[in-house]
Amino acid sequence: MSKIIKLLQLIVLIGFLVAIFFLIQGQPVENIQPIKGVIVLPTPETTGNISVEDAINKRKSISTYQNKSLTLKDISQLLWAAQGITDKEKNIRTVPSAGATYPLEIYILTGTNGVNGLESGLYHYNPLKNQLEYIMKGDLRVNLSSTAYGQGGIANAPAIIIITGVYSRTQNRYGDRGIQFVHMEAGHAGQNLYLQAQALDLGMVLIGGFSNKDAQKILKLPSDQEVLYLIPVGHPTNS
């Protein structure tokens, strides 16, 4: 009898430890709770002032930015280009996705006065609702910059777009091949961002050289999300 009680105690203890482990590791993205509600973004434009050829021709990496705020409209347009919805009924987005598994999540980290109308902090982009979910308060740019060894002007950019990948979404269908697919999709989102930034006369650079572990820790992201790109964006100093 005492053996059974000990066994039950052991099962309860293991269950408790497992629960603690998952609490520490973080929650799946679906469970992210915004700390200060949501910000509905302006409706993105589907026409612009320059041709796609012009945007491709002028695209380049820029890593120095003016001390000038971005607007919510800029942010809406950029996030839409990275992962926005173009056709809700057919589930089509601005970027292709292997088997329409959509493994990418997009965040934006804003600096103090970085974006008109937004407090500094970390926001999650909800493409289906075209809104931001405020998930962490504070100007974390210097901390994030240190994870990328000071590259790309992250510490001074008004905003930094962050692309993460949830491998399981694509791997559940494609196995190990899914890992490559997730990386390919981050590339598609990155190029869309370059072209959209160019069309808005903004500058940005894709930063792939950073410590995943440190970035994950600073941004307190769910454990099933891998940080793939840090993308500082702002008004270029030469414009």
Residue 206 near ligand FMN by CB under 6 A: yes
Minimum CB–partner distance for residue 101 and ligand FMN (Å): 21
Exposed / middle / buried, residue 50 (Cβ in 10 Å: 0-12, 13-18, 19+): middle
| Residue whose CB is less far from ligand FMN, 168 or 211 | 211
Structural contact between residues 123 and 137, judged by C-beta atoms closer than 8 angstroms: no
| Residue whose CB is less far from ligand FMN, 125 or 210 | 210
Cross-sheet strand order for the sheet of 226-234 = 38-40, 131-137, 121-126, 104-110, 159-165, 226-234, 203-204
Structural contact between residues 202 and 236, judged by C-beta atoms closer than 8 angstroms: yes
Q: Which of 208, 224, 236, 237 contacts ligand FMN by CB under 6 A?
A: 208
Stretch that binds ligand FMN, among 33-41, 72-80, 92-100, 199-207 (CB under 6 A): 199-207
Q: Which of 44, 114, 152, 158 contacts ligand FMN by CB under 6 A?
A: 152
Minimum CB–partner distance for residue 102 and ligand FMN (Å): 20
Token couple for 62 = 């820029």
Residue 61 near ligand FMN by CB under 6 A: yes
Residue 151 near ligand FMN by CB under 6 A: yes
CA–CA distance, 181 with 214 (Å, rounded to integer): 24
Start-to-end CA distance of the chain, whole Å, equals 79
> Which residues in this chain contact ligand FMN in the complex, by CB under 6 A?
60-61, 63, 151-152, 205-209
